[in-house]
Amino acid sequence: MRSSVELLATDVACPGFFPVSVAGDPRDFLRWSWGHGVPAFIFRPHLHPEFPSGQFPESVWLKKNIVALPVRHGLRSGDLSLLREVIHSWRRAVNGR
């Protein structure tokens, strides 16, 4: 299976973050990313109390497994390279390579 991360800069619009699913425990990835200079976070980590989670297991999985990589206008090539390297180094660490 081929894996790639392609992050493209844009002058048109800027999302608040890139959502990323990571291998392993997302909290471990957060510690890893912060330790490597990327303040990743979990976007709205709690489900709404009236959300019928039993009816939407995929939504629950996404809420528990997606982390957010921060982005902003003016990202430079080096910023995108850092995001990519943090993701790849995490994958190597988790896979033991």
Residues 25-63 pLDDT 10s: 999 999 999 999 999 999 887 888 888 888 989 888 888
> In the prediction, which pLDDT does 1 show?
45
What is residue 7's predicted lDDT score, i.e. its pLDDT?
56
Query: How much is the mean pLDDT over the chain?
Result: 84
Give CA–CA dist 70/59, Å, rounded.
21
pLDDT at 35: 96
Reported as a pLDDT band with limits 50, 70 and 90, residue 89 is: very high
Q: Which domains does the chain have, with CATH numbers?
A: 18-95 (3.90.1150.10)
| Largest Cα–Cα separation, the chain | 43
How far is 79 from 96, CA to CA, in rounded Å? 26
Q: Where are the alpha helices (DSSP H) in 1-97?
A: 26-35, 57-65, 77-95
Question: Considering just the CA atoms, what is the radius of gyration of the chain in Å?
Answer: 15
